[in-house]
């Protein structure tokens, strides 16, 4: 490589030279203007009043942090002059720091304190200080999380607040968190908390044109939410991962307009050879080693577990981490399918055959599959439900992975949209997982082990972290598409375009391999009037229902046709069996476990 070529390469950001440095054409600029107009109806831009409210809330929180640090410093009998200098600061990261936060979005914040303030004080004295404020609602501390956090709503704005203690005597507002030397003598939890800000600031530095990046990222985030693939906790991608994917495309097309970035985004990731990692820069490992730092970082050459990551997107700040370790086979397949669809739509837009609104059409999740798993978390009080929801949702990706392990399930698709409801007895939240089956001969599929493993894991975790309460219940059910009316809110049921059908009793499950009721309608209990009194043993059972009597195997069994794509009327039926998983585990207040033999199932299956 010549010196001239080397100098030319160094002018550009990223690991490689750009694919194209072409300037935007008039048509590119026109399409970018139309893209911005198309985004406005979806609420991706805040009004000035809303932006000012966020600034005011952050200012109040910042003053509160300084006041708290001052009080803690006094309690430790520090010199008054030193107390005046110790400071403390609130930093923002994520979408707000990137300048792409939407209406009603939360703000990710980091409380940075000097060395004499520890994390335990943050989760005790600062938490108690927050509890006394009338502006603070839905306050929740999660000190044992991988990244410890306090969650709250402050004056109507949702806030997540992390904590990091630096090995410094004082924290000023000019403190740059990107300095590697700051990581010396810090524990791993502080480093992980700091990384939110460090990663966000690195992304900003590594993007050639901020304006194009921000508009393109707004469009991609909206698209991802509409398609139901925006959720780190459920195994898709979170905000920082989408930001890094867009940033890499901006590096490859440094002069492109936002509309072009969106189109090239789908082109690049439709062709990407996963699990080849996406990186924005060379890792800082060598420089970190020179400074004596040795925190764990993503490196499949060294770390065996890193070799199994399916869709690695590597953060640009030391210690580099994979932001997508939650991705499963199903979620990766769903996202790659959406990349391909997005490319088709944006190519049509650039050809003048379509418009941007087509890109933002909602997902067809509730009409795409014939069979669904419904996960229902219930609790008697709002506070208990808030805690229970968080735990159950964090474990759903493991249920998806468990379902994927079954040979005949080719896709387990979890919807990122959950639904909350409230009754006199309890509050509950529902999540839905669509199932697609491969072509197969006559086969019996038993989901019991996967369901039991999931429910047991959730209950045991709740007990171990002392979160479990007697009113917390977890149900996992199988339903057909036509039964979704009994589980979805009416407005959602109408919105997704499901055909209205006669009401199906909540626990009534069809058993007919041919889906045939002999031309007669079942009664309210799921009986077929013609067959329910038949004594002909040669006639196979047509109907199953849940009853209060106990069957021999305590199971829910469902026969149905293969539900993958391209099924014919002659396909062999699959039998799905879900034993009564709720009898597998029950936790008591004292933390002991009631085994299946000690706990009678509330509902069992009876073949009629």
220 is in an annotated binding site: no
Catalytic pick from 189, 221, 264, 378? 221
Catalytic pick from 17, 29, 106, 456? 106
Asked if residues 144 and 155 have their Cβ atoms less than 8 Å apart, the reply is: no
Short-list 466, 465, 499, CA closest to 483: 499
> Does 106 qualify as catalytic in the annotation?
yes
Instruction: Give, as one character, the DSSP assignment of residue 122.
Output: I
292 is in an annotated binding site: no
441 is in an annotated binding site: no
Catalytic pick from 28, 91, 108, 583? 108
Distance between CA 151 and CA 244 in Å, rounded? 25
107 is in an annotated binding site: yes
Rg of the chain over Cα atoms, rounded to whole angstroms, equals 27
| Residue 193 neighbours by CB distance under 10 Å | 25
Strand, helix or coil for residue 76: coil
445 is in an annotated binding site: no
Short-list 327, 319, 468, 321, CA closest to 388: 468
> Does 469 qualify as catalytic in the annotation?
no
Asked if residues 154 and 136 have their Cβ atoms less than 8 Å apart, the reply is: yes
Catalytic pick from 230, 369, 459, 468? 230
Asked if residues 35 and 215 have their Cβ atoms less than 8 Å apart, the reply is: yes
Distance between CA 393 and CA 458 in Å, rounded? 10
Short-list 285, 278, 432, 455, CA closest to 366: 432
Asked if residues 277 and 314 have their Cβ atoms less than 8 Å apart, the reply is: yes
Cβ partners under 8 Å of residue 453, min gap 6: 402
> Does 286 qualify as catalytic in the annotation?
no
> Does 426 qualify as catalytic in the annotation?
no
DSSP assignment string, 225-262: HHTT-B-TTTTSB-HHHHHHHHHHHHHHSTT--HHHHH
253 is in an annotated binding site: no
Short-list 248, 183, 190, CA closest to 217: 248
> Does 230 qualify as catalytic in the annotation?
yes
> Does 95 qualify as catalytic in the annotation?
yes
Asked if residues 246 and 220 have their Cβ atoms less than 8 Å apart, the reply is: yes
Asked if residues 399 and 433 have their Cβ atoms less than 8 Å apart, the reply is: yes
95 is in an annotated binding site: yes
Strands 107-113 and 409-414: unpaired
Catalytic pick from 95, 193, 363, 510? 95
Asked if residues 119 and 165 have their Cβ atoms less than 8 Å apart, the reply is: yes
160 is in an annotated binding site: yes
Short-list 370, 285, 309, CA closest to 565: 370
Query: How large is the angle between the packed helices 382-404 and 329-350, nearest 10 degrees?
Result: 90
239 is in an annotated binding site: yes
93 is in an annotated binding site: yes
537 is in an annotated binding site: no
Q: Which two tokens stand for residue 401?
A: 């992975």
Catalytic residues: 95, 106, 108, 160, 221, 230
Annotated binding site for ATP: 93-95, 106-108, 160, 221, 230, 239-240
Annotated binding site: 93-95, 106-108, 160, 221, 230, 239-240
Annotated binding site for Mg(2+): 106, 108, 160
């Amino acid at each position: 490589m010549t010196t001239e070529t080397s100098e030319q390469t160094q002018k550009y950001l990223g690991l490689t030279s750009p694919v194209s440095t072409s300037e935007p054409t008039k048509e590119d600029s026109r399409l970018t203007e139309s893209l911005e107009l198309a985004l406005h109806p979806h609420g991706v831009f805040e009004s000035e009043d809303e932006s000012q409210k966020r600034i005011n809330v952050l200012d109040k929180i910042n003053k509160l942090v300084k006041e708290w640090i001052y009080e803690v410093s006094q309690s430790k009998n520090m010199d008054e002059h030193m107390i005046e200098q110790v400071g403390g600061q609130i930093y923002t990261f994520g979408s707000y720091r990137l300048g792409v936060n939407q209406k009603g979005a939360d703000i990710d914040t980091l409380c940075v304190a000097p060395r004499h303030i520890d994390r335990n004080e943050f989760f005790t004295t600062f938490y108690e200080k927050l509890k006394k404020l009338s502006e603070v609602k839905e306050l929740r501390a999660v000190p044992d999380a991988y990244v410890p956090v306090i969650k709250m709503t402050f004056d109507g704005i949702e806030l997540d607040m992390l904590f990091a203690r630096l090995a410094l005597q004082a924290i000023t507002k000019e403190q740059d968190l990107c300095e590697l030397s700051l990581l010396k003598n810090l524990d791993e939890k502080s480093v992980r908390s700091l990384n939110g800000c460090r990663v966000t600031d690195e992304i900003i530095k590594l993007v050639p044109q901020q304006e194009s990046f921000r508009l393109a990222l707004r469009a991609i985030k909206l698209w991802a939410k509409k398609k139901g693939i925006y959720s780190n906790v459920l195994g898709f991608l979170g905000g920082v991962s989408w930001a890094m994917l867009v940033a890499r495309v901006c590096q490859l097309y440094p002069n492109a307009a936002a509309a072009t970035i969106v189109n090239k985004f789908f082109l690049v990731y439709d062709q990407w050879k996963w699990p080849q990692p996406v990186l924005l820069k060379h890792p800082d490992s060598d420089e970190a080693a020179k400074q004596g730092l040795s925190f764990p970082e993503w490196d499949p050459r060294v770390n065996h577990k890193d070799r199994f990551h399916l869709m690695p997107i590597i953060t640009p700040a030391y210690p580099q981490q994979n932001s997508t370790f939650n991705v499963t086979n199903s979620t990766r397949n769903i996202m790659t399918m959406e990349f391909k669809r997005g490319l088709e739509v944006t190519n049509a837009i650039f050809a003048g055959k379509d418009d941007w609104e087509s890109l933002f059409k909602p997902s067809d999740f509730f009409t795409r599959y014939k069979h669904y798993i419904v996960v229902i978390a219930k609790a008697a009080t709002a506070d208990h439900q808030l805690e229970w929801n968080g735990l159950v949702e964090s474990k759903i990706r493991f249920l998806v992975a468990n379902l994927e392990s079954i040979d005949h399930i080719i896709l387990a698709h979890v919807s990122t949209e959950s639904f909350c409801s409230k009754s006199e007895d309890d509050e509950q939240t529902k999540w839905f997982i669509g199932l697609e089956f491969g072509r197969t001969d006559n086969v019996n599929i038993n989901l019991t082990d996967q369901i039991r493993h999931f429910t047991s894991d959730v209950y045991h975790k709740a007990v171990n972290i002392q979160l479990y309460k007697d009113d917390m219940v977890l149900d996992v059910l199988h339903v057909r598409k036509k039964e979704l009316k009994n589980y979805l809110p009416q407005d959602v049921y109408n919105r997704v375009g499901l055909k209205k059908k006669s009401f199906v009793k909540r626990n009534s499950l069809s058993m007919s391999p041919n889906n045939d009721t002999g031309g007669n309608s079942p009664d309210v209990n799921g009986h077929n009037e013609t067959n329910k009194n038949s004594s002909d043993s040669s006639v196979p059972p047509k109907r199953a229902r849940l009853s209060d009597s106990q069957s021999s195997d305590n199971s829910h069994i469902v026969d149905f046709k293969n539900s993958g794509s391209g099924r014919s009327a002659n396909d062999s039926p699959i039998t799905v069996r879900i034993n009564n998983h709720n009898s597998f585990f029950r936790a008591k207040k004292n933390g002991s476990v009631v085994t299946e033999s000690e706990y009678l199932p509330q509902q069992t299956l009876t073949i009629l």
